[in-house]
Amino acid sequence: MLYVDGGVAFGQVNHQYDGGTAGNTFIANFSRTGWTAGMGLEYMFTRNFTGRLEFDWVDLGRSTIQYDPTVITNRSEWRDSFGVVKVGVNYKFGGPVVAKY
6-58 pLDDT tens trace: 999 999 998 887 766 666 777 888 899 999 999 999 999 998 899 999 999 99
In the chain the first and final C-alpha atoms are separated, in Å, by: 34
Cα torsion through 39, 60, 20, 66, rounded to 10: 160
Which pLDDT score is estimated for 20?
A: 61
Q: What are 76-81's contacts with CB under 8 Å, separation 24+?
A: 76/15, 76/17, 78/13, 78/15, 80/11, 80/13, 80/30, 80/32, 80/34, 81/34, 81/57
